[in-house]
Amino acid sequence: MTAAERALLTDSVHEQLRELVFSGELGPGAPLSVPALAARLGVSRTPVREAVQQLIYEGLAVHTRNAGARVASLDAESVRSVFRVREVLDGLAAYEATSSASHEVVARLRTMVEDQRALLATEADQRRDAGLDLEFHTLVRETARNRPLSEALERLDGQSHLYRSDMWTSQLNRRLAVDEHERIVAAIEAGDADGARVAASAHVAGLLVRTTRT
């Protein structure tokens, strides 16, 4: 296997582990045993070990001498702190994305929202819901074309998803999140940067309330 092939495999394993974490299948405090995960994913231990190290770097996992690697667990105040910072930075990302969002980007955002809306008619699919939410926020921050902002939000968005798996089981919470996404897209499409900032900040503020009460 070439170095490029190894890197692609590690990236694939990393994404699979993130999905398991964000869907709640590997909840806060769950052990990240390299042998067990390698057997589960049908790969060798090396890409799993490297992927777990990436999770630790992203703040999604922690490693202790006696317990090994586990999915990260934050206390309630730490969770609130993450969302408060996101509230500001997500607003900034939506503001900056408005001026550079092409028709293609707006169309992609609308398709994501439509897919989320369609999921509301089905039983809660936590992995799919979480995946679409991450795709939506990733596209907004990438469209902002601000690398330091994007890198900061990537870590914060990932950490905030750790504590939202229960939220996806509530039909009301899911609908409110989709409605808020629609308002963000509408403001970006209208070229209303201030409106996009307000909508994005309000969305994260709403997520904080819904996350901490579930």
pLDDT tens string 48-97:
999 999 999 988 999 988 889 999 887 778 888 999 999 999 999 999 99
Q: Are residues 111 and 200 in the same domain?
A: yes
Q: Are residues 58 and 91 in the same domain?
A: no
Give the three-state DSSP class for 62.
strand
Q: Are residues 42 and 132 in the same domain?
A: no
Identify residue 20 by its one-letter amino acid code. L
- What CATH number is associated with residue 56? 1.10.10.10
Q: Are residues 198 and 114 in the same domain?
A: yes
Q: CB 117: neighbour CB atoms within 10 A?
A: 15
pLDDT above 90 covers what percent of the chain?
60
Q: Are residues 142 and 207 in the same domain?
A: yes
pLDDT above 60 (res 214): no
Handedness of CA 49, 79, 213, 124 (dihedral sign): negative
Q: Are residues 59 and 114 in the same domain?
A: no
Q: Are residues 84 and 38 in the same domain?
A: no
Q: Are residues 181 and 106 in the same domain?
A: yes
Q: Which domain holds residue 26?
A: 3-71
> Which residues lie across from 71 on neighbouring strands?
61
Single out the residue in 55, 71, 87 at which a domain terminates: 71
Single out the residue in 71, 97, 122 at which a domain terminates: 71
Q: Are residues 144 and 115 in the same domain?
A: yes
Q: Are residues 101 and 21 in the same domain?
A: no
Q: Are residues 38 and 128 in the same domain?
A: no
- What CATH number is associated with residue 157? 1.20.120.530
Per-state percent for the chain, helix, strand, coil, to nearest 5: 75, 5, 20
Q: How many domains does the chain have?
A: 2
Of the listed ranges 18-27, 56-65, 107-116, 161-170, the least confidently predicted one is: 161-170
Single out the residue in 21, 39, 71 at which a domain terminates: 71
Q: Are residues 197 and 116 in the same domain?
A: yes
Give the torsion through C-alpha atoms of 134, 163, 60, 174, to 10 deg.
-10
The DSSP output letter for 69 is E
* Interval 138-166: pLDDT, tens: 999 999 999 999 999 988 988 887 766 55
Give the three-state DSSP class for 156.
helix
